[in-house]
Structure 1
């Protein structure tokens, strides 16, 4: 945990010192463009690599009754037997984290006895985190588009509808900060989760915390020239980069942390964003009893039927008293 935290702090200091030392072109243009290329290339590579992985048989997670006899009620979402059920399962999984909603906790009570109970906090904060991140991502489109689409402006208006302070406080800023702190605290204060947590579990959380924190700092405390920021971002989008004067160092810290996140993304657990659609435990119907699945890459083989086997060994089998489909005299007549 300490290593990941120090790494993120070091990254922020590098960006701050670099921007203050006159390396705005490096941190404002070269690194962000390189980060986008690494993200796109890495993302496509991982998806293509997963797509080429063989799936020799159906292995969907079965959390309910499989379709069988007509008088037994099946579970079409937890154990889908059709493509429609798979679509429903995937939509609920992606949009509502349905499997995480059924998360449980276990504790050792007096007795001793093991007690399982429902735990919805992880599902709630994970859902809040992802939707707030999506909202903030869409809100930032105003820096990359001219004119700003009505939908982006409407979303920004809705996000700041509480009209708290000047500039107005966005609800997603508060919620995503609370969600990230919960996800970090969960790994710090839960003994079982802390035991299995690795530096690569903490690093993206601290990186996102720094990204969100620097963004909040720019908006509410350390002011930056928004007009100059838009000139820079529009230049990046049009591949005609211009680095205006007067952009504060905090902006370059924010942009550098985002660039690191983009470069880190394809090689980390964050790739579950794309991997969830390729998971054979989710994207396949459980119809192995109804449909015979043959591996297309199996080499052709010559199979020997029982009739052929009996034709070759009919006499010894008859002498041994084994049951036969055809007696020797019947076979000789044919």
Structure 2
């Protein structure tokens, strides 16, 4: 049901772009109003979520560990899985964000007929995630050529490497197909695996379908000859948005695939802070990832703890010494010693006042 609902929502968004932008010719709504509205909601939503996470207390050191922490000298320590310092922690975070190291270590448990529980490495999800995230990242980098008057040298170099495949004098970008393949395989995984399909909801299907729609409309603009969009007009629109000098092209100048593509991107920006895609930012604020595993060396103090006035044992004994002596309980000071101390403190106080 969640998959069908997500498909309907994506189709409605596409029809909205076709009818309003293509048939009615209201291109200003898609090239000016919608992008600024989407970007504003995106920034506000991300700041709100980060601020909300920042107010959450972290009472314990709950860093995720998959190895032995630093302990006794004769016990082997795993410095990657249990970093003790900030630089080591940043290195582990780098491996997690760029190479999905924890996902690479994913395993599958199966109960055999003889009752034994066996574990197997499960690399398919890691491969799908690498294809999707790396393809999307480099595709976004390539898109910078639409936002600058002069294309940066790094983007030009990446464009040449990425478009090394030449078919019929036309460059085909590898990362674009990686992006589409990764998103499609992740969607098929949710549809074909019964256990994963059982726990999948609308907020799992919708972003995947939205990303697939973005990839398909982008590829249609580039590879389908009858619908190729005027790149000059696209750059004028994008540079105008970036410089706050918006350009409203004439109706019919931009292809319908570009209007759908831009509408899908704006929808993704609006949805991003409120869905599971926010994990791209949340991974850096997760206390299971951004804390050092040095709880044996450094005491973790929760800054949200209220100030507590501690009642020491000596204060307790001063309060109940006579009763403790009466019932034969051991005391650090006898009644005479305690009285002598009080008398000495009283005299010292009188001398200081005199």
Verify the 8 A CA contact 1:18 1:27 in the aligned structure 2.
no
2:351 aligned partner: none
1:294-321 CA distance string (max 9 Å, x none): 3334333322111221233233323433
Q: How far has the Cα of 1:75 moved from its partner?
A: 1.8
Residue 16 of structure 1 contacts residue 252 of structure 1 at CA under 8 Å; is this kept in 2? yes
Give 3-state SS (helix, strand or coil) of 1:110's partner.
coil
Long gaps (5+) in structure 2: 342-354
**Alignment partners' CA distance in 2, 1:287 and 1:75:** 12
Distance 1:228 1:84, change over 3 A: closer
User: Residue in 2 aligned with 1:78?
Assistant: 81
The answer as to 2:244 corresponding to 1:239 is: yes
Structure 2 partner of 1:5: 7
SS of match in other structure, 2:118: strand
Q: Aligned equivalents of 1:296 and 1:51: distance in 2?
A: 12
Alignment of 1:133-148 (within 5 A): 133-148=136-151
SS of equivalent residue, structure 1 residue 168: strand
The Cα of 1:12 is off from its aligned counterpart by 0.8
Aligned counterpart, 1:292: 299
CA offset at residue 331 of structure 1?
A: 4.4
Aligned counterparts of 1:145 and 1:55: Cα–Cα separation in 2: 42
Report the alpha carbon displacement of residue 192 of structure 1 after superposing the two structures with TM. 1.0
Residue 264 of structure 1: CA displacement? 0.5
From 257, 261, 265, the counterpart of 1:254: 261
Give distance in 2, aligned partners of 1:93 and 1:315: 62
Q: Over aligned residues, Cα RMSD in angstroms?
A: 1.7
Counting only pairs closer than 5 Å after superposition, residues 62-211 of structure 1 correspond to structure 2 as 62-211=65-214
TM-score by length of 2: 0.89
Normalized against structure 1, the TM-score is what?
0.94
1:330 CA displacement = 5.0
Unaligned 5+ segments in structure 1 are none
| Structure-1 separation of matches of 2:130 and 2:189 | 15
Q: CA deviation at 1:238?
A: 1.6
Question: Would the aligned equivalents of 1:167 and 1:219 in 2 still touch at CA under 8 Å?
Answer: no
Whether the 8 Å CA contact 2:42–2:273 is kept in 1: the answer is: yes
Could you tell me which residue of structure 2 aligns to residue 16 of structure 1?
18
Which digits, 9 at most, give the CA deviation of each residue in 1:257-301, with x for residues without a partner?
Answer: 000001100111111111111111110112222223333343333
Q: Which has the larger radius of gyration?
A: 2
What is the number of equivalent residue pairs in this alignment?
Answer: 334
Deviations 1:117-146 (A, max 9, x none): 111111122112111111111111111111
1:59 equivalent to 2:54? Answer no
Deviations 1:61-117 (A, max 9, x none): 122112122222222221222223211211111111111111112223222433221
